[in-house]
A and B are shown apart, each in its own frame.
Chain A
């Protein structure tokens, strides 16, 4: 194998990628996914934890109370989140329908120490975001009420759970797990998967456009050509991954082990690219190669994630500074897997070349 020839091929492929501007599409795509993920995050978190957006915290929602006299009404009236009106049930529900109330509550009058449960009927508007927010706020009051009743009825409990005192939690901390536990591995692995698909296109194209013979008549060997293409696809991965990490850091998300993360992603992506190259060499035709490759990737990723200490997990741990020295073992393992695959690819390429000659 001649490194100079590989370099020429790699440069040619990168140049054609940049002239086709497809790589820009790929980056826009990743940006789009990131945007949507954050949309999911902000959207869902704000919907289910309304307090995480302070905007909602100082609104007092009107609710109708229509039940029998119950301690629960007292809890509601004490709350700063609600303005409570004592109303007749039918009128209250009609007002709710017209959105003059945001919920109507009916509670049964059961003594706190009774053997029967307190039944609360909650009327809310179907398919409505506001109703969801009001529901979350009502839930907090109901939990408080439940705690009180549970305490009163406590003597009847036969099993007592271990008591642990937990300080108030911060609702916005869901962001943390999402960003580090899902978004970062997703973003740094996207380039790897894209490059895996890319290598198939680059190789099958030579077959299907009938440009292979021309290429083989030059001093470039078949293996050189394959490795040049692999190099072109490979170099894009650390560049994009580093780009993402920098972007995240600019956005105020601190990432500790950026360099080890890039090393891990590169090793894993090299393995993926080599699997792609093998598929392409076997089928020489894009439809089949891509089909088999995507199916294989799904299987490989599934199996991978099912093992503890997989690369994705290591990346999560590296990003929050929780990874121990075992991550170097995993890196070593991935590099040897990639080396093994490289051997296969070179061997396969040589065999193909012999057939040509």
Chain B
């Protein structure tokens, strides 16, 4: 053990030396110049604003005030027209004559109208905020109180009603008793001047991202009292910034690891290391360690910079592992730089979306918790997260990273590193390496279990994506795609066997293997579900995604029938029929789900 640690240390030292060697000299001076350029450029962009949507709308008006209202908004170009002149339709997107706005029915004109409406309300707010008698300008103030409900998820799929249509004659009666809520005071308890100060600081200048945020007109600081216009759920646009601040530097650093692995392969530097009596996992850890520490240091630095607590690092940790493990695998499977680029860009987009999109809903819906970034946002907002929350949102990252690391370590040998087979055959070689010759069915069982975290990730992503479709469609799409993902994951082992060891798969072994896969899938599913996802699995989406939990033989037979369909088609028709086989088994799976789970037996 100490020997291994010593070896890891040595390899890590080499790696640091190698990395420093390539980075210094030619790159460093230009990198520094670019960094300074970046600072100047962002300063410049901040000063001059982002000019993406300049002058897209035109206004013709006879009122000077209109010109000054839109002067701060560069989407508009306002033209003064003489009194009494009536422009032709199509000359301008909006015409404002004698204080009345005229818009045509075209989409563009309507969009201009909406934009002008917002500019006008901003102008009104600006005037009222400076009104001497503040309570005449703002006679209504709202205090928001949030109540925690314990049955969130079951009830709230995309804003659906959680109850039968309300009966207007009978007031609802709480079933579980109630506690006394103190009557709110009718006094504000805060002076008008303090309120004014908050109002004025909340006036947003119109630039960049805020143009989209002012759809929501929420201010970034949580106010105790709001005017009706300020009343909107707060959208954490912090998370957009967070992605830039945390995820991109981490992703960039993982790229260096990816390139280091790739370089070992194309320059064949790795050969010497591999012939030494060192275990592959030692090499991987040794090479990865410097990058891991670098990423951790970057994250820590950023945390200090945004004055966050140390707890921010906890949810970042599995993300780092996930990036590193995927960088390792991508570095090992790509044949060429082009492939490396495309796979890694693709991966990073998918991973960033997975991290980023749920976190937009951080203050709105529990689904946001599937992203560790949400926990970071909570920390920054000064709320804490529980241990359960942590497990809930990070376990998939830990598990997938572990599986990928294992797969990579198993294949970190000369035979795999120095061949240049195509992507798909390579993936299959990787998978074949973990299928034991003797205990094939046990291997299939194990592979099945290992695919579960990936399946869950993909399905949760799907959930996020389809979450916003109107209700019946979202469930139908989810049903079909979720079934497809599951069937695909289950088929991985069998398909590899068909391609690599066609003689092994006799009809008898097809049935036994299918059963092993189904059993493994079910076991993994149940294990992970009970551990983490109870909340989601309670909802109707959960029922669709993860089959029913009550009876075990039902989902087992479902998984068995699904994989057996795929395997039979493959066995009978050969590997060319892989895609049709998957589609067929997806249909079988979906019908089964429809029939048993949703009870649409009619």
Contacts and interface: CB of A to CB of B under 8 A. Distances in A.
Nearest to B42: A302
Contacts of B470: 53, 55
B147 A124 contact: yes
Interface stretch (B9-17, B319-327, B346-354, B493-501): B346-354
Interface string A190-220: 0000100110111011001100000000000
Interface string A305-322: 111111011001100101
Contact of A93 (B26, B139, B147, B225): B147
A154 interface: yes
A181 B56 CA distance: 9
A330 interface: no
B403 interface: no
A198 B336 CA distance: 11
A316 B135 CA distance: 43
Interface string A153-174: 1101111111111110111011
Contacts of B161: 59, 61, 130
Nearest to A157: B136
B86 interface: no
B338 A110 contact: no
A268 to B, nearest CB: 14
Interface stretch (A112-120, A258-266, A337-345): A112-120
B509 to A, nearest CB: 32
Chain B interface extent, by class: 35 or more
B135 A115 contact: yes
Interface in A127-183: 127-133, 135-136, 138-139, 142-143, 145-146, 149-150, 153-154, 156-167, 169-171, 173-174, 176-178, 180-182
B233 A174 contact: no
Interface in A287-304: 287-288, 290-292, 294-296, 298-299, 302-303
B275 interface: no
B417 interface: no
A98 B114 contact: no
Given A153-B136, A204-B337, A208-B267, A292 B166 contact: no
B131 A125 contact: no
Contacts of A106: 183-184
Contact of B100 (A128, A165, A282, A299): A165
A99 B151 contact: yes
B184 A121 contact: yes
B103 A36 contact: no
Contacts of A250: none
Interface stretch (B31-39, B517-525, B539-547): B31-39
Contact-residue bracket for chain A: 35 or more
A200 B117 CA distance: 47
A93 B110 CA distance: 41
Nearest to A32: B349
B228 A142 contact: yes
B171 A164 contact: no
A210 to B, nearest CB: 9
B178 A91 contact: yes
B34 A142 contact: no
A354 interface: no
A200 B340 CA distance: 12
B550 interface: no
B44 interface: yes
Contact of B141 (A35, A44, A49, A118): A118
A25 B152 contact: no
B52 A185 contact: yes
A246 interface: no
Nearest to B125: A161
Contacts of B360: 40, 44
B342 A116 contact: no
A60 interface: yes
Nearest to A29: B346
B149 interface: yes
Contacts of A55: 470-471
A285 to B, nearest CB: 7
B20 interface: no
Interface stretch (B58-66, B303-311, B442-450, B558-566): B58-66
Interface in B120-172: 120, 123-124, 127-128, 130-133, 135-152, 155-156, 158-163, 165-166, 168, 171-172
Interface in B359-375: 360-361, 363-366, 368
Interface stretch (A3-11, A81-89, A237-245): A81-89
A97 interface: yes
A300 to B, nearest CB: 8
B149 A313 contact: no
Given A96-B149, A97-B149, A306 B44 contact: yes
A336 to B, nearest CB: 21
B243 to A, nearest CB: 13
A56 B152 CA distance: 19
Nearest to B366: A127
Contacts of B71: none
Interface in B45-79: 45, 47-58, 63, 65-66, 69, 74
Complex A-B, nearest 9 residue pairs according to Cβ-Cβ distance, in ascending order: A94-B178, A108-B186, A201-B337, A142-B228, A149-B139, A100-B172, A176-B111, A94-B174, A62-B166
14 contacts: A20-B339, A29-B346, A32-B350, A61-B166, A93-B181, A99-B151, A118-B139, A119-B184, A142-B142, A143-B229, A177-B56, A205-B336, A292-B30, A307-B48
Given A59-B165, A128-B149, A165-B100, 19 more contacts: A47-B159, A60-B165, A100-B173, A118-B140, A124-B145, A124-B147, A128-B364, A129-B365, A145-B228, A149-B139, A153-B133, A167-B101, A167-B113, A169-B110, A173-B111, A176-B107, A201-B337, A208-B266, A310-B52
Interface of A: 16-17, 20-23, 25-26, 28-29, 32-33, 35-36, 39-40, 42-50, 53, 55-56, 59-62, 64, 68, 83, 85-87, 89-91, 93-101, 106, 108-110, 112, 115-133, 135-136, 138-139, 142-143, 145-146, 149-150, 153-154, 156-167, 169-171, 173-174, 176-178, 180-182, 185, 194, 197-198, 200-202, 204-205, 208-209, 282-283, 285-288, 290-292, 294-296, 298-299, 302-303, 305-310, 312-313, 316-317, 320, 322
